[in-house]
Amino acid sequence: MWYRNAVVYALDVDTFKDSNADGIGDFQGLIQQLDYLHGLGITVLWLSPFQPTPDRDDGYDITDYYGVDPRLGTPGDFAEFMFQARQRGMRVIMDLVINHTSDEHPWFRSARQGKHSPYRQWYVWRDNRPADAGKGMVFPGVQKETWTFDSVSTTYYFHRFYDFQPDLNYSNPQVEAESKRIIGYWLNQGFSGFRLDAVPFIIEEDGKNVDRPEHRFDQLVAIRRHIQLHGQEAILLGEANVAPEESNDYFGKDGVGMQMMFNFFVNQHFFYTLATGELQPLVRALEQTRDIPEGAQWANFLRNHDEIDLGRLTTRQREKIYAAMGPDKNMQLYDRGIRRRLAPMLGNNPQRLAMAYSLLFALPGTPVLRYGDEIGMGDDLRLKERLSVRTPMQWTDAPYAGFSTTAPFRPVIDAGEYDYRKINVASQRTDPASLLTLTTKLIRLRKEHPAIGLGKWIISDHKAGDLLITQFTDERETILTVHNFAPNRASAELACPGQVLTDLFSGEDIPVKNGKVQLTVKEYGYHWFQVR
């Protein structure tokens, strides 16, 4: 159950730290910053793809599942990183991108040669362009189709993602067997699990009924069993943006599927509440995602490496978020989301940022932090699509943000209020009022009070519509967390099971009288109380 009270930190090796002055982050640079991550309190590192790639989709177009991209270092550098992470008590999970390959992968190159190729049935082909070729795109507005004509084989191949990422055919037992070999290989390298990319597309029958595909959930059970054969503590963390009523299909009956999934549903309603102050949609989303199997866990996040996907909200709700957080068309993406970092979306308001991060660590589930968000990094909207939130990490006010001693392969943010000379790790480390200092404290509190990750929880019923008050209880303690989404003070009287509330930030004691306590919270304020 280690994953239920972990703190996950997501990073791209190539944008984290460059050690050899070639402008690209690498494993040796990551090793140099492990002490920083350890000091922050991180317990799990999630690595974006690091295998060889033409890099047309930031590494998600893989050409060798068993290798390390030479731009990021040698296999020896990778092995040393894994050793150094373990020395600091940190687990490592990796992106498992097995829904599709690069069109430069040797498998696809062979498959293009015709029906005689041993890899032909590893992909999905049609002699004629299907009638629904213009449906089912993952990136609408950028993608035009899901079937592309291949000039070599003179047939069409299927791809949910870009046309240079042909989908693998999981109806073929050979593909399923190869995916298990890939999993076994990386488990043997010391990984504690996988973030399984694009889960619904792996388990659908490719190319059929793209709007309403049938899913083979038994494949997730098979992957889970295979992982447990190799490493009993290893987990699957699924990327599956599905409706609440579908989630238990992915967790599996009695929890025999994936152990964890990202809670996209709560995330989207979290942003709606941040944008509008309307609390009830978030409360309903939390309640709708409450009932999951014993041992399963939600992974909560504010920002990830993609756009903020708002596709499960109503058009009206989505438009309200756009107006508040991404009003320009250049800030929006795929007709459903926003391609900005959190700090710019919240107007770089320190109190709103602090409240949002407090709630991230006080939601039922496991918190996931994206690199750079702990210091409030901004975005670069000059970069295309999702690259706007994938700029190099800002370490110092030295040239190129201390990321490299030469011009990086992707520009650092060097203008405006998110300029690396204003926003960087070095300056915030010594500032007791910085976002980095707060994040470090929140992580420490979360680890000291595991009831939030492991205990039972309820949302307190009260009359103040701006306050989200959640109670967590395990066999050791009861914790109350309070968050005010309004730009003004809010008060509430609530029933309390103890005699005293101790504020875990200030140490102040608040007496409980006749089983009730009166709370007043400042604008965008937050508190964590231990009930004594």
Name the residues annotated as catalytic: 197, 239
* CA gap 131, 134 in Å, rounded: 8
CA dist 317 → 286, 289, 481 (Å): 17, 19, 26
Q: Are 481 and 361 contacting, i.e. CB atoms less than 8 angstroms apart?
A: no
Tell me how far apart the terminal alpha carbons of the chain are, to the nearest angstrom: 27
What would the two tokens of residue 55 be?
Answer: 């890099």
Return left, alpha or beta for 69; rule: phi > 0 is left, psi -120 to 50 is alpha, else beta.
beta
Give the bridge partners for 370, in sequence order. 10
Give the list of residues 6+ apart from residue 430 with CB closer than 8 angstroms, or none.
none
Is the C-alpha dihedral spanning 288, 294, 296, 297 positive or negative? positive
Give the list of residues 6+ apart from residue 255 with CB closer than 8 angstroms, or none.
293, 294, 295, 296
Q: What angle do CA 12, 107, 111 make, to 5 degrees?
A: 140
* CA gap 443, 164 in Å, rounded: 40
Cα 89 to its chain centre, rounded Å, is 21
